[in-house]
Amino acid sequence: MKILVVDDTVVYRQLLSKIVSDFENAEVIGTAPNGKIALSKIELKQPDLVLLDVFMPVMDGLKTLDQIKKQHPHIDVVMLSGMDKELVHVTMKALEAGALDFVPKPQGVSVEANMAELRAAISRLILMARTRKYSRQARALSRADKRHQPVSPKQPPLLMPYAEKKPRPRFQGPARKQEKTVPYTETRSYRKPGRIDVVVIGVSTGGPNALQEIVPQLDGDFPVPILVVQHMPPMFTDSLAARLNSTSSIRVVEGKDGQRVEKGVMYITPGGRHMIIKKDRDGNKVIRLTDSPPVNSCRPSVDVLFQSVAAVYGGNVLSVILTGMGNDGVSGVKAICRKGGYSIVQDEKSSVIWGMPGAVAEADEANEIVPLGRMASRIMGIAKKGNL
């Protein structure tokens, strides 16, 4: 991986360069103190990944990101962000503008602790960028192979198309006009979803944009609560909830300890804590937040929430796994499916990283594999049909 480090402070440029250089399969191909110099070096050296500071003189991170995405859309960009409210807000904007992910700058007093925190974050990001790079190459080779290899009509598909039939034309005046066909949903079983009392969503890398596409499309009379785990540090989940709430018909909040779970409300797990669902003395479902150790190296963890939901709601659960690195969520989806719940995952083509949804599909726990563009309508269809 060829990596460009962009930060206005000499200390951080040196620190990040040292960390990147320690990895066997990564190389620092240059550094830059601002976006203007960074763009000229990108043009010359074509890195695979840019580590980009949010606030810089001459040209800041947002403007630089915009230019990179316009001129070099294949280059991944990871933002380097502080943890105050203003920086959190700008970082969320950067994710919406196409940044792959972000790294919070450590706030510890120990240099060694800060180095260890950054090293762990950079290691994950390099792996993520490598995965995306080779996944893109594999898809390109696959498309090339398909162009040269005839497809036998006798060979059945591995997955049955969910909506392969052409939709019926609607009557529109004196003539009938055929609707446009939508991308089909793949399904791995003929089982139909049953009653749904709650929707649970697990998502990581690429999640803010995926949620921003899905949540505003949900109807304001959504019939059940929605519980979400988005892998993010503290402060960022609160900002995400506020941004989604401002653009959506349903209410979106960051979950609070002791809060009663209500239909038509989306609860996002606070960064840095696990969220579980319990019943109170009156039988109401309530949120509990815990500081128990990370699961799958994650806190919050999708598995922790999903397993608690399976225990409380039984099989009346729709689980949704969206784009993300790793395999957090597989055990939780299994627990829900064993109780009779229904599982859908985002497809590979529309995922930033097909790690989490791919892991559920590999475990044969995905009832449906759905493109992001159809995810909102599919969630609504399943949730509403199960509550008629």
Which residues are designated catalytic? 204, 231, 328
CB contact burial 60-95 (16+ within 10 A = b; e otherwise): bbbebbebbeeebeebbbbbbbbeeeebbebbbbbb
Distance of CA 222 to the CA centre of its chain: 22
Q: Which residues pair with 6 in a beta bridge?
A: 32, 52
Q: Is residue 296 within 8 Å of residue 303, measured between CB atoms? A: yes
> Dihedrals φ, ψ of 236, to 5°?
-70, -35
Q: How far is CA 212 from CA 163, 229, 248, 372, 376, in A?
A: 25, 14, 9, 11, 11
Quote the Cα angle for 213-332-320, to 5°: 20
Reduced to 3 states, what is the DSSP secondary structure of residue 201? strand
Q: d(Cα 13, Cα 27) in Å, to the nearest integer?
A: 14
- Taking alpha carbons only, the member of 208, 186, 205 closest to residue 131 is 205
Quote the Cα angle for 305-309-314, to 5°: 155
Q: What is the 3-state secondary structure (H, E, C) of 228-273?
A: EEECCCCCHHHHHHHHHHHHCCCEEEECCCCCECCCCEEEECCCCC
Q: d(Cα 112, Cα 332) in Å, to the nearest integer?
A: 35
Cα-based torsion angle of the residue sequence 111, 83, 103, 113 in order, rounded to the nearest 10 degrees: 20
Give the tokens for residue 268.
């996002």
Q: Is residue 317 within 8 Å of residue 323, measured between CB atoms? A: no
Give the tokens for residue 53.
């500071």
